Amino acid sequence: MTDSKTIPSLWKLVVDPETISRCISRISYEILERDRDHNLAIVGIKTAGEHLARRIHDRIEQLENRKVPFGVIDITLYRDDLLISGTKPLLKGTDLPFEVSGSRIVLVDDVLFTGRTIRAALDAIIDFGRPSRVELAALVDRGHKELPIKADYVGKNLPTQRKDSIKVRLKEMGFDDDGVYLV
């Protein structure tokens, strides 16, 4: 038996497990509605984005009864705050086991905030080829963009104050249940 991670009592649950599940299903259906050429690939941004991407990928394969390429991308070396942070980067690994060039990639992340993570992910993807299109799916869009980046698929829009923090916790990360928390 493994110990699960606990959620601090001061954190406020703003998206419950059932809503997360519905968001995953809705995003999956919306992605399929736009899939005209069947050249779809799902790519998750390490770490929470990877787990959400896997859920979307599995749901799409279940709905379509066909294989869909899946990959994960590590943006660590593409971050624009790498030198500022002063910490040694911990690489988690990129795995794109499909032809990036010509693919319609749906990039998946947990929280869309300033847009800087997505910018880094786009830079990383381009290093592997030139996709025909890159779309963005985010479980939560909290506003406060610093770059002109908008999600094509959003689970929940959560207006926040800039000083707030949103934390996504998933079972795959060792927590008892899924949840999105306002900190």
Whether 11 is covered by a domain: the verdict is: no
Kindly state whether residue 171 falls inside one of the protein's structural domains. no
| Cut 0.85: pTM above it | yes
How many Å separate Cα 4 from the centre of its chain? 22
| Enclosing domain of residue 38 | 16-162
Q: Please indicate, yes or no, if residue 178 is contained in any of the structural domains.
A: no
* pLDDT tens sequence across 26-81: 999 999 999 777 799 999 999 899 999 999 999 999 999 999 999 999 998 887 66
Residue 9 lies in a domain: no
Q: Is residue 25 part of a domain?
A: yes
Instruction: Tell me if 170 is assigned to some domain.
Output: no
Give a yes or no: residue 1 inside a domain.
Answer: no
pLDDT of residue 38: 78
Residue 59 lies in a domain: yes
Question: How high is the mean pLDDT of the chain?
Answer: 92
CATH number of the domain encompassing residue 45: 3.40.50.2020
Counted domains in the chain: 1
Residue burial 93-123, b: 16+ Cβ < 10 Å; e: rest: ebebebebeebbbbbbbbbbbebbbbbbbbe
